Each structure stands twice: as structure tokens, then as C-alpha cells.
Amino acid sequence: MSEAPQVVVITGLSGAGRSSALRVLEDAGFFCVDNLPPALAPELLGLANREGMLGRVGLGIDVRTGAFLSGAEETISELEASGHRVQVIFLDCADDVLVRRFSETRRPHALAQTGDLHGAISRERDRLAGIRARADIVIDTTDFSVHDLRHHLIDYLGRDPDRPSMVVRLVSFGFKYGVPVHADLVFDLRFLPNPHFVDALRPKTGMDPDVSAYVMESPETQKLLRHLQPLLDYVLPQYAREGKAYLTIALGCTGGRHRSVAMAEELSRQLGDGHEVVVVHRDAQRAAP
């Protein structure tokens, strides 16, 4: 008998990116079935295992399955008990962003028969609470593009078991454009010397060596690092021990081009030896003031 298929369950709120996530799985070689009643999953996978046809299977589950949704958690447990390698990925998103996405696409929400979209999202959260608690990873797509989601999924699914259990995501941003809503820790760097007021540095970003040196060599920055390093040395293992797969540290300055970028790059170097680090400069490429 062939090895039991790897099963990845993609679930979450309508509008949070589930269809896009399933397309990522398909591109990665998964056989994907969307909106399959969970009770039928063991039959599908049993056939695939007997015939040796499918090594990796992606299942999309959401509220459109109606009453069948209540059996999803039991089905996942049943698949695991039968030897399948099951990963549950839950896609979350802020309510206001979900409302905007539905308004832009003009798609109806499965639970919004009366047109009350906010109420439908609230009811959907309640119905998905059990499977969300069961998820191996929760990905907040509020600030994600399709490309961001693709990167996260590929990175998560392709991770080696010997690699660190938690990915540290350093996000530089500008307060003028809003704080990343999915951030676990937020540090305000607006008190550091600002390269914006140096004519030669203003058009550049914190990736430039001159800007980086200006920010990092200031006494204020050096003192901040002396406090920040032991704090991160303490809290990162605590988050990892709680089973967190991704920890997002947001570093903000006024425009997100200079101080936050330089600090994210520096912390990436400092944390790189003991942690898996991903750096995202959210606002660095916005037009210079």
C-alpha cells in the first residue's frame, strides 16, 4: 500500500483568500477539491490511497458546506487517526477589509441573504470558531496582496522540520499609512534622528548604506538596541513555546522609508543566527515626500 497522502485543509472567512490559497496548492502539485462536504473526505482520500494516485491533497472548507461544516473537526481527527498527515490553515481578515473586498467584487456572502454583510461575517466567525481553534496556523490576510499570501503559503508548506519552529517577520512601515493590523509587537521609532531632514539622504531608503549609518550610529539608536536585544531574546522563545508559527514585529517611523527600514535590516542581521527571519518593507517604495 502506498504512503497516505498529505492533506492540507484551507479554511477561513469568506473573502480572506481561500480560493487564492487553493490555487497556490494546485500550482505546487496538490490535487484540490473545493467545498467538499467534510464527511466525504475520508472516502476521497481512501480511494486516492488505494490507487496510489494522489500524494498531496488540498481541501477547501467554508460555510458554503452548510450543515456539513459541523462535522469538519471530527473528520480531521478521523483522517489523522487513519495515518494521514493533516495540516489545517485558517485564513483570517479584519471585518472592514472583508466588507470592502465583497463590495469591490460584488460577490454575495453565503450568509448575507438579507444583505447584512457585517452580521454575516459575525455569524461566520461563530460557525468557524471550532475549526479555527483546531488550525495549525492562522494567517491574517488583512494587509496581504495575493503575492504575499502565496509567499507565506509556499514558505510554510515547504519548511523543513529541522528548521526553527517559528518564523520571525520584521515589517517596516510608516505611521502615516497605518499600523499593520496583524502585528504581534509594534515599536515606534519616530524618536530616532530622521534622515528625511538631510537633503542628501531624503530620496534614499534605509537600505542605502549612508541612511543606515546615519540611523544606526546615533546614540539614541544604540541605546534602543541595548534595551531591545535582551527583550527579544526573552520574548521570542516564549512565543515559540506557545506554538506560534509566525511572529510579526512591526517597526514604524513617520513615512516607513528610512528609520524603520534601517532598523528592520539591523534586527534581521542580529536575529538571523538563531531564528528564521523574513523582512518586509511595506512602505519603503512609496514616493518620497
> How far is it, in rounded angstroms, from Cα 181 to Cα 213?
30
- Per residue in 96-150, pLDDT (tens digit) is 888 888 777 666 666 666 667 778 888 888 888 888 888 888 888 888 888 888 8
- Per residue in 203-235, pLDDT (tens digit) is 999 999 999 999 999 999 999 999 999 999 999
> How far is it, in rounded angstroms, from Cα 60 to Cα 260?
38
Check whether 181 has a pLDDT greater than 80: no
Question: Are 151 and 17 in a shared domain?
Answer: yes
Q: Give a yes or no: residue 34 inside a domain.
A: yes
Question: Are 74 and 186 in a shared domain?
Answer: no
Question: Are 144 and 196 in a shared domain?
Answer: no
CATH number for the domain that contains residue 23:
3.40.50.300
Q: Give a yes or no: residue 201 inside a domain.
A: yes
Mean pLDDT of 245-256: 91
Question: Are 151 and 252 in a shared domain?
Answer: no
Question: Are 181 and 220 in a shared domain?
Answer: yes
pTM score > 0.75 for this model?
no
Query: How many residues in total does the chain contain?
Result: 289
Question: Are 13 and 141 in a shared domain?
Answer: yes
More confident site: 164 or 137: 137
Question: Are 184 and 78 in a shared domain?
Answer: no
Question: Are 67 and 93 in a shared domain?
Answer: yes
Q: Is 236 helix (H, G, I), strand (E, B) or coil?
A: helix
> How far is it, in rounded angstroms, from Cα 103 to Cα 214?
45
Find the domain containing 121 and state its range. 6-157
Q: What is the pLDDT of residue 1?
A: 43
Given a contact cutoff of 8 angstroms between Cβ atoms, the answer to whether 76 and 130 are in contact is no
Q: Give a yes or no: residue 289 inside a domain.
A: no
Question: Are 191 and 277 in a shared domain?
Answer: yes
- Per residue in 4-25, pLDDT (tens digit) is 668 899 999 988 888 899 998 8
Check whether 242 has a pLDDT greater than 90: no
Which of 106, 126, 157 is a domain's end point? 157
Which of 125, 157, 189 is a domain's end point? 157
Which of 157, 190, 215 is a domain's end point? 157
Question: Are 137 and 231 in a shared domain?
Answer: no
The number of domains in the chain is: 2
Q: Give a yes or no: residue 286 inside a domain.
A: no
Q: What is the pLDDT of residue 189?
A: 98
Mean pLDDT of the chain, nearest integer: 84
- Per residue in 50-80, pLDDT (tens digit) is 655 567 888 888 877 665 566 788 888 888 8
Q: What is the pLDDT of residue 264?
A: 97
Q: Give a yes or no: residue 31 inside a domain.
A: yes
Question: Are 58 and 149 in a shared domain?
Answer: yes
Q: Give a yes or no: residue 288 inside a domain.
A: no
> How far is it, in rounded angstroms, from Cα 59 to Cα 39?
12
